[in-house]
Structure 1
Amino acid sequence: MSATVSVDLPWFAKATRRFGAPLAFVAALAMSVPGEIHLAEVAGWSPNVAMLMPVCVSVYAASAAVMADVARRFNLPGKASAQVGAVLALILAILAQDISHLIQLDYMSSSAVLVAAVSAIPGLVVAHLLHMGRGPRETAIEVEAPDVPEPDEDQGDEDGQLSLIDMETGEARPRRGRRGRPAVAPEVIQAAAEKLKAEQKKVTGVALAEELGLSHRTGSRYLGKLADLEAETG
């Protein structure tokens, strides 16, 4: 069972975490806009269309980094190429600034190769984003999670769900809503099973749950207990 530790950060650390990173992100995007617009104009786009280049470069690089991290964490299809693409997107954003400023300060001039490379950016961005946005075939994704204790049957709600975990502090927070139900006695479970058999119904977890007025998950758990009881009684 993994333990959680709550760390109380000083106020300035909390403020930096909450406001510092977003402000730096916005400032970096704002500073990258002029260079990327200029580079698009050098490649031949009109000023109105060139204003979209920062979305194709800086915003794309940030999005690719986030999507690649999610693909790695949840083991999504194409995670390796997503990470490679995120690195290339970052390199593209850096080169766009460098080349634009070098041209503006007359350290270099435009060329056919440069125009062709810049003109290919939108198509490459679309292709990579479509690739990273490809979802898994399964509707549910299995991920590793820390081991947690199974809830007692006389605690928690009727679905046996654990307390919620606060994503900021890592501490458990009590669930709101229904209070716990006491465990159903073995003889009551057996009686419900006998009733189902008498009615020519198959004894399943769902059938037990409906007969006892519980959730399907709890009914499946009681079905396992019923099998143990029948094995003990021979």
Structure 2
Amino acid sequence: MSAVVSVDLPWFAKATRKVGAPAAFVAALVMSVPGEIHLAEVAGWSPGYARLMPVCVSVYAASAAVMADVARRFDLPGRKSAQIGAILALILAIFAQDISHLLQLGYMGTSATLVKCVSAIPGLVVAHLLHMGRGPRETAIEVEAPDAPESDEDQEDGQLSLIDIETGEPRPRRGKRGRRGRPALPPEVVEAAAEEIRAKGERVTGAALGDALGLSRRTGSRYLGKLSHPEAETG
């Protein structure tokens, strides 16, 4: 079974992911705008509508790639055709630049076939995006995970234990202040604390049980619900 290891990336790797990659992405989109607008104008669109062509080509190609990857990872409907469409979208974005620059520099001329192909781009984009939009109504992914020891700190901050998507095993997560969450107390320890409270003639409440166990009132209330004694009371 593979172990889950936490890796701290060096500062330049973090900077590349947070700054470098987004900057390159934006630059590539901006540089593709003139060629795609020119290609739309060659196909007969007016300048106002031609400015929308970069959205139909470059932005669409980026969106299709992300949606196809998500469909593949989580086995969503239409994942294979989504991947094929994403590849075709990338090819379209590349050739749109090539054709536009060839036209601008006089290496090729326009033709009826070129006009027809460029004119069909918006309709094809709409059809493919509607196809890739199919999926489950809920975006959360449900996985079966083995029972794991409960953590008081996990319960305190209202977070669930992380599950390794590859192994299906619970990941060790750190609680507040970098400490690992404490494992759940054994039932006999909780029962003993409840008996001590009853021996004093007091009610077994969440607050009283938490004080007896050295935990918070909220955690005490959680353990209170697990007591087997019928006289256990909430509070």
Query: 2 CA distance for matches of 1:160 and 1:171?
Result: 13
Distance 1:41 1:140, change over 3 A: same
What residue ranges of structure 1 are gaps of 5+ in the alignment? Answer: 189-212, 226-234
Distance 1:184 1:137, change over 3 A: same
Q: Partner of 1:36 in structure 2? A: 36
Q: Secondary structure at the match of 1:69?
A: helix
Q: Partner of 1:111 in structure 2? A: 111
Residue 15 of structure 1, CA deviation? 1.3
Identity %: 70
Query: 2 CA distance for matches of 1:93 and 1:42?
Result: 16
Q: Partner of 2:136 in structure 1? A: 136
Q: Are the counterparts in 1 of residues 161 and 173 from structure 2 also a CA contact under 8 Å?
A: no
Query: 1 CA distance for matches of 2:153 and 2:187?
Result: 12
Q: Partner of 1:27 in structure 2? A: 27
Distance 1:41 1:164, change over 3 A: same
Query: 2 CA distance for matches of 1:15 and 1:172?
Result: 25
Distance 1:97 1:143, change over 3 A: farther
Q: Secondary structure at the match of 1:173?
A: coil
| Alignment TM-score, normalising by the size of structure 2 | 0.67
- State the aligned residue count: 190
Q: Partner of 2:161 in structure 1? A: 162
* 1:55-109 Cα deviation digits (max 9, x unpaired): 0000000000000000000100000000000000000000100000000011111
Q: Partner of 1:76 in structure 2? A: 76
Query: 1 CA distance for matches of 2:8 and 2:152?
Result: 34
Query: 1 CA distance for matches of 2:19 and 2:191?
Result: 59
Q: Are the counterparts in 2 of residues 72 and 79 from structure 1 also a CA contact under 8 Å?
A: yes
Q: Secondary structure at the match of 1:157?
A: helix
Q: Whose relative contact order is higher, 1 or 2, with alpha carbons under 8 Å and at least 6 apart? A: 1
Q: Secondary structure at the match of 2:155?
A: coil
Q: How does 1:41-190 map to 2 (within 5 A)?
A: 41-136=41-136, 141-142=141-142, 150-152=148-150, 156-157=154-155, 161-162=160-161, 172-174=173-175, 182=185, 184=187
Q: Partner of 2:209 in structure 1? A: none
Query: 2 CA distance for matches of 1:18 and 1:111?
Result: 44
Query: 2 CA distance for matches of 1:25 and 1:139?
Result: 26
Query: 1 CA distance for matches of 2:154 and 2:23?
Result: 42
Query: 2 CA distance for matches of 1:164 and 1:76?
Result: 20
RMSD between aligned residues: 3.7
| Alignment TM-score, normalising by the size of structure 1 | 0.67
